[in-house]
Amino acid sequence: MSRIGKLPIQLPAGVTVSVAGNNTVTVKGKRGDLTLKVDPDITLKIEDSTVKLERPTEQKRHRAMHGLYRALLANMVKGVSDGFKKELELVGVGYRASNQGQILELSVGYSHPIMMMIPKEVKLTTVTEKGKNPMIILECNDNQLLGAIAAKIRSFRKPEPYKGKGIKYVDETLRRKAGKTAGK
């Protein structure tokens, strides 16, 4: 049985969950509101300050959906109450990041700067301090959107294994490789 799916979701103060007729769940909190269309087989029970999900059978598909939707709903509850934050670091000589509103400009070793429009739901900040690597800070209440935007930014210049140059998450650990050894 899905261990994740069985866990009840605790609702913090100020967060409300409502279910529409076609299994559309709306979560509202101090940071906004999010909606999710849940599979019709999965049933939701809202009691006091907890939400429980139940599945009809032990089929593999139902077990997978049970854990998936529980995790997505838990992320929505956390997002509207606390929010999510991702920090990316640009490692490399001459690598720069700046923003004008929601337009991110990256200089990461190509012949031209990369311009990327960030959705309005994501709060974008760039930090450049002398002696430290430039950083991009993304904040949002939607974990899926935030992860997709951060992954897209990282894909412009993934960290390489020899010197570690590229765009990496702050908490990411890179597997480094040894370079060539000198010949005879």
* Residue 88 pLDDT > 90: yes
pTM value?
0.88
pLDDT, tens digit (0-9, with 9 covering 90-100), for 159-180? 999 999 999 999 999 899 988 8
Per-residue model confidence (pLDDT) at position 180: 85
Domains delineated in the chain: 3-81 (3.90.930.12), 84-169 (3.90.930.12)
| Residue 169, C-beta contacts closer than 8 angstroms, at least 6 positions apart | 86, 87, 88, 89, 150, 154
pLDDT, tens digit (0-9, with 9 covering 90-100), for 24-71? 999 999 999 999 999 999 999 998 899 999 999 989 999 999 999 999
Per-residue model confidence (pLDDT) at position 162: 92
